[in-house]
Amino acid sequence: MKRSHYFIAVPLTSEAKQAIARFSGDAALSLPFRTWVHEEDYHITLAFLGDVPPGKMAPLCEAMAAVAAKSAPFSLVLAGLGTFGERTAPRVFWQGVETEEALNGLRGDVYEACTKLGFALDRRPFAPHITIARKWQGAEPFRPDMLRSLSAARAVFSVPEIVLYRTNIERTPKYEAIAVFPLLGAPMNDRK
């Protein structure tokens, strides 16, 4: 039996997904990546958990509900493009978002809660992004200037919740929402 992988993420609105999908369709004409992410799978990962033993699922959901309850909804702006991996053969092509302290704070709270539950999390600095494509397979080496001619998707979208997703490798789209945690905190300007 295959193990499932889980992660906590910020979902995107339909409008943001559609904007990225339109961009992705255009970009695929000039950038030969092996796989392009399905529109329904766009998200911003906050914490990759890997396998979650059955006994940890309820405590994980309780912890994420508590994090979400104290976090206020906020908005993000799509901005910028980039890659991860080898410079001439990147493994990931992504769309970024403008820096937003609420997102960084939320990610910090999610990380802290998951670490307290014993999850071994990635220690690299947080680089919020939406994966668009994977595995460069061009006949020529990838050059970062190839991205300069592209107009990245633009959209402002609200973040009213975080989601626990399960990966289903054999399906498309492959990410399945297992639990949704509404952000219930008061916005900063509403706090006394």
pLDDT value, residue 191: 45
**For residue 191, is it within any domain?**
no
Please identify which of the residues 17, 107, 129, 134 carries the catalytic annotation: 129
**For residue 107, is it within any domain?**
yes
**For residue 146, is it within any domain?**
yes
Q: Is the pLDDT of residue 179 over 80?
A: yes
To the query of whether residue 129 is one of the catalytic residues in this protein, the response is yes
To the query of whether residue 38 is one of the catalytic residues in this protein, the response is no
122 is in which domain, residue-wise?
A: 5-180
Per the structure, the count of domains in the chain is: 1
pLDDT value, residue 189: 54
Residue 173 preceded by cis peptide, ω within 30:
yes
Average pLDDT, the chain: 93
pLDDT band at 192 (very low <50, low <70, confident <90, very high): very low
Query: What digits encode the pLDDT tens for the residues 56-99?
Result: 999 999 999 999 999 999 999 999 999 999 999 999 999 999 99
**For residue 110, is it within any domain?**
yes
**For residue 188, is it within any domain?**
no
CATH of the domain at 33: 3.90.1140.10
**For residue 101, is it within any domain?**
yes
**For residue 187, is it within any domain?**
no
pLDDT band at 45 (very low <50, low <70, confident <90, very high): very high
**For residue 72, is it within any domain?**
yes
Q: Are strands 74-86 and 161-167 parallel, antiparallel or unpaired?
A: unpaired
pLDDT band at 42 (very low <50, low <70, confident <90, very high): very high
Please identify which of the residues 23, 42, 43, 109 carries the catalytic annotation: 43
Query: What digits encode the pLDDT tens for the residues 3-22?
Result: 689 999 999 999 999 999 99
Average pLDDT over residues 42-54: 95
pLDDT value, residue 169: 87
